[in-house]
Chain A
Amino acid sequence: MGQTSAVNAGNVFAHLSDEALVALVARSDDAAFAELYDRYDRLAYGLACRILRDGTLAEDAVQDAFLTIWRSAARFSAERAPARVWILTLVHRRAVDLVRHQERRRTEQLPEREEKGADAADEAVWLRLQRERVRDALGQLPDQQREAIELAYFGGFTQSELAERLGQPLGTIKSRMFSGLARLRELLDDATPEGDPWSGTTFTS
């Protein structure tokens, strides 16, 4: 009945897909924007922290990415990519931009894959399962492919920087990245089928 809507108005977004939320954000719905932020804040901030290794810079990256979402949601097309991919790509790209301006990174070792900063009680079950799944898939890649992908994605190194750092021709680096991503995709597809357009709602659990 009609009353149901009024009663449920507080959590009306919970059942919406990420794509539907982006469509609402495109019409400047700030409540939908807040819901989108709440679904992705820990993942986005965790990613930015891993890349930037600095909380303040990570906040900058997340803020810039989310304001880009706010400003350009109308141009988002669900046909090109799921909203999840769009959001994480924006966060990643901004974090990489920022880390490339941090000169100190050039001389440091690549970041350790350690659990630092992970608070088990703080991490939703779903996120923890996802992480185990991705970590497991990464672990199955040949070392050279994993190295190229991790240095690029989490280290923010360009392909040319990697070629120099690893003493390999540029073509080899590109090919390791491609083969690694393709293999990773197979491994992840095997682990979990996707396709439920409402699956984004589980982010809140």
Chain B
Amino acid sequence: MERDDIHELTAPYALDALDAQETRAFEEHLRDCEACREEVAVLRATAATLAHDAPAVAPPPELRSRILATARAERGNVVPLRPRWAAPVAAVAAVAACAAVGFGIWAATLDQTLGNREAALRNQARALAVAASPGARRIALTGGHGALVVTPNRRAALLLADLPEPGAGKVFEAWVISGGAAAPAGVFSARDRAAAVALERDVPAGSTVAVTIERSGGVQQPTSTPIVRSTSA
């Protein structure tokens, strides 16, 4: 392959129409050529859409079982969650990287009285997913350390550090405040004084989010002064 020609390989590459040797050479070229990388990204997106021209066919159910079983069996060999998670987060959005590094989000749990560790982990995963969503915005907090993160379609997560000790029988409760009314958005507790919480209701433009300390189980209306409040979302 002549050097001058290599830029012309974007379309064949996007269609997987290069042989193995050409593919290797072009991928090497891609590392150094920003223009080709951009062009490939656009052409690949179009090429991938061609998949829809093939009629969708349900695969045999055994395929699903086989793939999931293999994946689970491999998981035993893969350990450190933090590095594997931290990498894509950093790549997705600065705000998410900031959250992963700074706030000890692994420690957050929902109210333990739920007795549902699974739900707590799911909520935490949702909070991370919100933080990692393309286009998510970070909104500053007053009265505490951390951030409110809001996606373009108004899903939200709170990432909190340096929370106070709520006291025995008490939990944190999040609120979405809109038009002067506070709506409950989830009960949570912290560990190591940090929490990552996916809010249970959307956060409309112009509303704010607040956190109060309430009795275990949560309440329908706040009964105390917020310890943390966001600026307008």
Are both chains from one complex?
A: yes
Report the Cα distance A171→B114, complex, angstroms.
Answer: 65
Report the Cα distance A75→B123, complex, angstroms.
Answer: 24
Binary CB contact string for chain A from 74 to 96 against chain B (1 if under 8 A, 0 otherwise): 11111111101100110111001
CB < 8 Å neighbour of A123 from B43, B50, B56: B56
Q: A5-B123, A9-B116 are in contact. Are A43 and B56 (CB under 8 A)?
A: yes
CB < 8 Å neighbour of A45 from B58, B88, B130, B200: B58
Q: Would you give the shortest CB distance from B117 to chain A, in whole angstroms?
A: 10
Do residues A181 and B92 form an inter-chain contact, with CB atoms below 8 A?
Answer: no
Chain A residues touching B, range: 35 or more
Q: Specify the chain A residue showing the minimal Cβ separation from B219.
A: A1
Q: Specify the chain B residue showing the minimal Cβ separation from A149.
A: B15
Report the Cα distance A157→B88, complex, angstroms.
Answer: 34
Give the contacts of A1-53 with B (CB-CB under 8 A): 1-6, 9, 12, 15-17, 19-24, 26-30, 32-34, 37-38, 41-47, 49-51
Interface size of B in residues (CB-CB distance below 8 Å): 80
Report the Cα distance A122→B58, complex, angstroms.
Answer: 7
In the complex, B132 has a CB within 8 A of chain A: yes
| B residues in contact with A32, CB < 8 Å | 125
Do residues B67 and A66 form an inter-chain contact, with CB atoms below 8 A?
Answer: yes
> What 7 additional pairs, Cβ within 8 angstroms, besides A30-B71, A119-B58?
A2-B217, A4-B200, A29-B125, A46-B51, A50-B53, A67-B74, A185-B46
Enumerate 8 A-B pairs (CB-CB under 8 Å) in ascending A order.
A2-B111, A51-B54, A77-B88, A117-B55, A138-B50, A153-B47, A158-B19, A185-B43
Residues of B within 8 A of A (CB): 8-12, 14-19, 22, 41-60, 63-64, 66-68, 70-72, 74-75, 78, 81, 84-85, 87-89, 91-92, 110-111, 114, 116, 118-120, 122-123, 125-126, 128-130, 132-135, 151-153, 155, 184, 186-188, 200, 217-218
Residues of A within 8 A of B (CB): 1-6, 9, 12, 15-17, 19-24, 26-30, 32-34, 37-38, 41-47, 49-51, 55, 58-59, 62-63, 66-67, 70-71, 73-82, 84-85, 88-89, 91-93, 96, 113, 115-119, 122-124, 127-128, 130-131, 133-135, 138, 149, 152-154, 156-160, 162, 171, 173-175, 177-178, 180-182, 184-185, 188, 196-198
